Amino acid sequence: MKNLPPKSRRWAKVRIALLGTLLMAFAVAVMHRAWELQVDRAPALREMAEEQYLRRIRLAPKRGTIYDRHGAELAVSVDVDSVWANPRALRENGGDPDVIAGRLSRLLGVDRERIARRLHSDRYFVWIKRRITPQLAARVRDLDLPGVRLEREARRFYPNRQLASHVLGFANIDGVGIEGLELSLEERLRGDRRVVPAIRDRRGRVVFSEQLLDDRAAQGDDVTLTLDRTIQRIAERELALAVQTFEAKAGSVVVMDPESGEILALANYPTFDPNDPGDSPASHRRNRAVTDRFEPGSTVKPFTVAAALARGTIGPEQLIDCEDGAMQVDEYVIHDTTPHEELTPAQILAYSSNIGTAKIGGTLGRRGLYRAFRRFGFGEETGLELPGEAGGILRHFRRWYEMDAATISFGQGMSSTSVQLATAMSAIANGGRLVRPRLIGQVRDANGAVVQETHPEVRRRVVPERVARLVGDMLTAVTGPGGTAEEAAIDGYLVAGKTGTAQKADYVSGGYAEDRWLASFVGFVPAEDPRLVISVVVDEPVIAHYGGVVAGPVFRRVGEQALRHLGVPASTGGEALADHARTQRRRRRMARRIARERGDTEEAPPTPAVTRAIMPGEVAVPDLEGMTARRAVVALNEAGLRATLEGHGVVRSQLPAAGQPIPRGERVRVILQPAYAAVGREPEDALALAATESTAEGATP
């Protein structure tokens, strides 16, 4: 450059400077661009890159499992396949949306136009059909359609179908609880919904995600109920049989442990399958045991008597004037089905006297009767862990009319639910303590740790223990010979309970409907050491309507099978029957003492059998004892009844008992045995008699 002329030398320097400037500017531009890419736009570019190889998965948490008290599964979540499509990927791969829609429609049973509209959209994701069977999933996979994929989802499944469906409720297709415990325990069962990243391949399929390895992180809590699946199945079966037999509208059964308040069974009929709830009308999905209010009728009479005994307004042996079956109250008249003059509280319960109960309630006064019923839990919710529980209706005593003060004492002018009735009777069974009924035993998280556990809760003491025991002793006469609920008696056990036969209110014309009834029975067994309280309610039976005839047998069948399942030994020949004998002796002594106080010279007669006034369409059952089978059938036919014969020989016993009114056309159970066994003859002497008498095998009902 030194050999160049000065002018050329200056031009070379200018070119070098210009080149250096350009290089410097290029370097600055590169550095600026690098700064922009690596720093300023780094988050956005990183997200763009991740979208190409990462897929964000929204984890639908696996819903917790519901178990019965013994660990049997009642509601579970299982993984099934759902069909979805990427319309953009479908068209990019040369797929024809209309052709693919037709093939999927024929395979999945979904409307073709609906699928086609979704496949023609400009979206990356559309559902085709969710929660399909494994067989359909395999056929979709074999089609290998472009843009059509399968996704695993959790589906709620109820393996026992209708069993405890009203308690469990159901969840919708997105796993959200809609009714029952699925709704009330939604937060516990559903778990936490979250979004996690996963590596995918060029086809968009998930390859790996560390956060998917631990599926417990998004799992809901497991719930153990107090229900016993076996007792629940027994209650549902027997309730359905009764509703269908008596052509009733509906019914409910509650089985409860009186000491702990645990609900062992809660059955309703009609029922539904929670796996397909849409196949049943809404009325079948209603949990009648907790939502339906009804006038309990005579089933509340024990609580009136217990309250009066606790307050000391009556004595256990006091005679109450029942006014020969008719009592004037204001401008109305209260009637008893069977007229009586004077009865003790025990006889008032055995005969179910409205007049006697009204007079006992009158000794408490309006305020006292109202407070007594409130203490037994009427007029308020029990706190059971189910949605939609009704509290029943018990108006404040200041709003009672003159007639209300009398009728509420025997269960009219108020309302309750089946669960309330069982809870109140539990207070009699457990010695006077009102316990809170409960369905939830334990709640465990995904790791098995107990996060919630319920324990027996005594809300208050209702009556002293001696009063509860005394009333329970009185209630054993209801199921004894001549009681209103002989059909509720369980062989080998003492049963205490009370029947209810209430007319339903007519909300159109006012008053009570003449042809609509509600039959009920609530009781506990064994009476000397109660293990079960069972409440049975049958709504609008047609064939018969008495609580002892309709609801009593349901109590018996549920009780005897549940006791066998629980391993409760029978008391035949033991302490229970000895207690019962002592009770009967005490009552006989009471009757003799009353006779002496009256100045009678003869011993008071034994307690007569309980009978009711014969209603239209009913007939009295004839006395068949000692008759041959043929004569018994003829006698029943003449009375407008039919016979069900058991055994052979002559009549030993019958159900219903002689003199009881039952609907015309009903069957009477006739039990026969060999003639010599019935009349005390030797076998040789009986042969001549048997030769001239018909047997059950030759008789036609």
Catalytic residues: 298
Which letter does DSSP use for residue 610 in this model? P
Q: Which residues contact 195 (CB under 8 A, 6 or more apart)?
A: 56, 57, 58, 59
Q: Which amino acid, 210? A: E
Rounded CA gap, 556 and 548, in Å?
11
Pairing of strands 250-256, 440-444: unpaired
Enclosing H/E stretch for 109? none
Calculate ∠ Cα 131-135-141, nearest 5°: 85
What b/e sequence results for 87-96 when a residue is b if at least 16 CB atoms lie within 10 Å of its CB, and e otherwise?
bebbbeeebe
Alpha-carbon span 662 to 651, nearest angstrom? 20
Rg of the chain (C-alpha set): 38
Q: What is the rounded distance in angstroms from the CA atom of residue 570 to the CA atom of residue 318?
A: 34
| Helix axes of 229-245 and 552-566: crossing angle, nearest 10 degrees | 160
* Cα–Cα distance for residue pair 194/212, rounded to 1 Å: 11
Per DSSP, the residues of 256-318 read: E-TTT-BEEEEEEES---TTSGGGS-GGGG--HHHH--B--GGGGHHHHHHHHHHHTSS-TT-
Show the tokens assigned to 272.
């539904």
88 token code pair: 């953009």
